[in-house]
């Protein structure tokens, strides 16, 4: 499971993310429908529909917890889904910032969550709501040292197997748009201030 999460995080880092910054205790946004990028083994990318299509998101930085809600176009029980939120505190410039991730699918409908890239032992919470097409995740703000703000990136990743196509959706935009921009790993997305 750890290898799978590490692989998926590496795929997301390769995609590169850039979104206009904003400031608030709670930031919400919309993402286009049917803008999931499918990348085949030979490196060709096309826009495709998949179970991982993000349509809306909200990131909140409360007094004690940082939380995110990701709404998908359609979450289908039994199909894999992997939702991630990167949270870069001020001054942190490494390639893989702290990340909260939820994965659910065949054989594990309720899903599991993990918090990657933090030194403290912290346990995230999550909930997958198939009826409302939502994935909720949160963790204690102390896990990041309660910085003044975090720059957040929201995305989903999916694949049929390790040797089959990979699907990525970045909110907002598509992975193909970011690859074309040549931005590499350029993270700051939406700025969320501590409430």
Mean of pLDDT over the chain:
76
Helix (H, G, I), strand (E, B), or coil: what is residue 168? strand
The mean per-residue pLDDT over the stretch 45-53 comes to 77
Q: Does 174 have pLDDT greater than 50?
A: no
Residue 144's pLDDT is: 93
Q: Mark 7-43 as b/e (b = at least 16 C-beta within 10 Å).
A: ebbebbbebbbbbeeeeeeebebebbeebbbbbeeee
Residues 124-144 have pLDDT tens digits of 999 999 999 999 999 999 999
Q: How far apart are CA 99 and CA 122, in angstroms?
A: 12
- Least Cα distance to 20 among 32, 29, 10, 11 occurs for 29
Peptide bond into 172 cis (omega under 30): yes
Helix (H, G, I), strand (E, B), or coil: what is residue 177? helix
* Per-residue pLDDT band at 3 (split at 50, 70, 90): low
* Per-residue pLDDT band at 95 (split at 50, 70, 90): low
Residue 179's pLDDT is: 43
At 64, list the tokens: 């004690």
In contact, 57 and 71? CB cutoff 8 Å: yes
Identify which has the larger pLDDT, 147 or 39: 147
At 180, list the tokens: 């074309």
Instruction: Specify the DSSP class assigned to residue 179.
Output: H
Look up the domain containing 165 and give its range: 2-193
Residue 184's pLDDT is: 42
Total number of domains in the chain: 1
* Cα dist from 85 to 42, 63, 119, 164, whole Å: 27, 19, 17, 24
Distance, CA of 80 to chain centre: 14
- Least Cα distance to 142 among 75, 61, 57 occurs for 61
In contact, 52 and 72? CB cutoff 8 Å: yes
Q: How far apart are CA 63 and CA 59, in angstroms?
A: 13
Q: What are phi and psi of 63, to 5 degrees?
A: -60, -40
The mean per-residue pLDDT over the stretch 5-25 comes to 43
Q: Does 65 have pLDDT greater than 80?
A: yes
Q: What percent of the chain has pLDDT over 90?
A: 28
């Amino acid at each position: 499971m750890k290898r799978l999460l590490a692989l998926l995080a590496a795929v997301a880092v390769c995609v590169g993310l850039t979104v206009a910054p904003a400031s608030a205790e709670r930031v919400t946004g919309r993402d286009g429908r049917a803008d999931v990028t499918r990348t085949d083994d030979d490196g060709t990318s096309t826009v495709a529909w998949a179970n991982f299509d993000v349509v809306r998101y909200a990131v909140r930085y409360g007094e004690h917890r940082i939380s995110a809600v990701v709404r998908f176009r359609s979450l289908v029980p039994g199909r894999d889904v992997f939702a991630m939120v990167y949270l870069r505190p001020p001054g942190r410039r490494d390639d893989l910032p702290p990340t909260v991730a939820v994965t659910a699918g065949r054989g594990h409908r309720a899903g599991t969550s993990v918090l990657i890239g933090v030194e403290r032992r912290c346990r995230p919470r999550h909930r997958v709501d198939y009826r409302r097409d939502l994935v909720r995740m949160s963790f204690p703000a102390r896990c990041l040292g309660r910085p003044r703000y975090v720059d957040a990136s929201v995305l989903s990743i999916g694949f049929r197997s390790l040797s089959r196509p990979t699907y990525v959706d970045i909110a907002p935009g598509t992975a193909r748009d970011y690859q074309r921009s040549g931005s590499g790993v350029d993270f700051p997305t939406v700025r969320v201030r501590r409430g």
